[in-house]
Amino acid sequence: MTNVTMTVNGKAVSGDVEGRTLLSSFLREGLGLTGTHVGCDTSQCGACVVHVDGKPVKSCTVFALDVAGAAVKTIEGMANADGSLGVIQQAFQDHHGLQCGFCTPGMVMSAAALLADNPKPTESEVRHYLEGNICRCTGYHNIVKAVLAASGQDVAAVAAE
Amino acid sequence: MHNFDFVKPSSVADAVRALSAQGAQALSGGQTLLPTMKQRLAAPAVLVSLTGIADTKGVRLDKGALSVGGATAHAVVAKEARKHYPALADLAGGIGDPAVRSRGTIGGSLANNDPSACYPAAVLASGATILTDRRSIAADDFFQGMFTTALHDGEIITGVVFPIPEKAAYVKFNQPASRFALTGVFVAKYGSGVRVAVTGASANGVFRWTEAERALSASFTPAAIAGLSLPSDGMIADLHGSAAYRANLARVLTGRGVASAH
């Protein structure tokens, strides 16, 4: 076992891990941050997306030791300081951008990465960006609406383009 | 996955030393290697991460060519190559999905030489040079068949130097589940002639379509190759497409590449 340290949601954390310990396992089992979901464990579905130094990554396809020292942000870090839902989370609730909710943590993290890079995306840019996040419930329409709403755009107008 | 010792050197020299250990394997972005290890198709004793070496990262212009560090992530190439070599940026920005592009690297893609990977097409069509810890290798000598390259055991790709073409395009027909190329064609027009590289089609990996290169060097128009055909012998055939389908797709995509080259 090797001790790994990193910053998760603004807090310095450390824990003992094996070489093979995935970032997703370290977050869930080492730190108890079970908001990050492991869907496929084969880097297809995107439920496990977190940010590492501001970039979206599939945490099931990164070793914890390989991101030692990095700043990691998970779905638990997306709420406001008072515990209320963040803008993207609230938009997913308002637009019913989920059914079972399993893929939602990854969807929200990918959406946050998109909006950081491209604050006013078109509908097609949202759909394209979310290619690596699979949802088996919704058919994506309400997810796309939620992301557009979170960007501050008029959903009906943008979606009609 | 089986366990292993993990090391993350900060210099190429230290990485080469670490890779000389019994059962050592290089890890770059890991977007292919981790799934492979989960399936126990690879079980290294020591994993040597190459992403902690600062001087193998980044994109820069060097004597009129574009130099890309071996450990540069696809997302970085998609952004930073844009104004110098837009077709290369297009290719990098179309690999996998955004999360894969945050981690996956050009060096990892080339060292693996997946027969459906995108980067080998850009490197071969550009006549790029692959730099390693010990030598430089011309693209024409580098790719040696499916998952096979000229790299020796423990040799590390430190960078790739791309001559910048007058015009180029990469046209990829997506395999939508894997987001690899069902077939992809990179067309690059240089003063010295046109190069055409096809990925995802041949069971032998990326290859140059020299007949199309001759025709396009004479006339860089889609019409110049309209009458050509690629033989389907040796093409990949699977449930997504037959060998004949891929051979035809390569021709169609070459025409689209010529039409959209910029």
**Predicted ipTM of the assembly:** 0.95
Share of chain B above pLDDT 90, in %: 97
One of 3.10.20.30, 3.40.1190.20, 3.90.70.10, 3.40.50.1370 is the CATH number of A2-77, namely 3.10.20.30
Q: Is B96 on the interface with A (CB under 8 A)?
A: yes
Query: Which residues in chain A are classed under CATH 3.10.20.30?
Result: 2-77
pLDDT given at position A154: 86
pLDDT of residue B248: 97
Distance from CA of A102 to the nearest CA of B (A): 18
Which pLDDT score is estimated for B176? 86
CB A143, CB A107: distance < 8 Å: yes
Q: Of B18, B25, B19, B20, give the one whose Cα is nearest residue B4.
A: B25
Cβ contacts of B50 on chain A, cutoff 8 Å: none
**Tokens standing for residue B108:** 């990892």
Pairing status of strand B46-49 against strand A55-58: unpaired
- CB distance A61–B31 less than 8 Å? yes
Dihedral sign computed on CA atoms, order B157, B47, A58, A55: negative
What is the pLDDT confidence band of residue A156, given thresholds at 50, 70 and 90? confident
Q: Which residue of B has its CA nearest to A134?
A: B177
Q: What is the pTM of this model?
A: 0.96
Q: Residue B30: its chain A contacts at CB < 8 A?
A: 61-63, 66
- Give A54-110 pLDDT, tens digit per residue: 999 999 999 999 999 999 999 999 999 999 999 999 999 999 999 999 999 999 999
**Cβ-Cβ contacts under 8 Å, A58 against chain B:** 99-100, 103
> For domain A87-150, which CATH number applies: 3.40.50.2000, 1.10.486.10, 1.10.150.120, 1.10.287.3510?
1.10.150.120
Question: Buried (b) or exposed (e) across B81-120, using 16+ Cβ within 10 A?
Answer: beebbebbbbbbbbbbbbbbbbbbbbbbbbbbbbbbbbbb
Dihedral of CA atoms B56, B61, B64, B65 in degrees, nearest 10, equals 40
Contact: A65, B96; criterion CB under 8 Å: no
The residue in chain A having the minimum alpha-carbon distance to the alpha carbon of residue B99 is A57
Nearest chain A CA: its distance from B254 CA (Å): 24
> Cα–Cα distance between A22 and B163 in angstroms, integer?
38
| Nearest CB partner across the interface for A61, out of B3, B8, B30 | B30
Residues of B in contact with A41 (CB under 8 A): 38
- Note the pLDDT tens digit of each residue in B76-93: 999 999 999 999 999 999
Q: Do A132 and B27 touch (CB under 8 A)?
A: no
pLDDT of A158 strictly over 90: no
Domains of chain B: 5-49 (3.30.43.10), 54-163 (3.30.465.10), 167-260 (3.30.390.50)
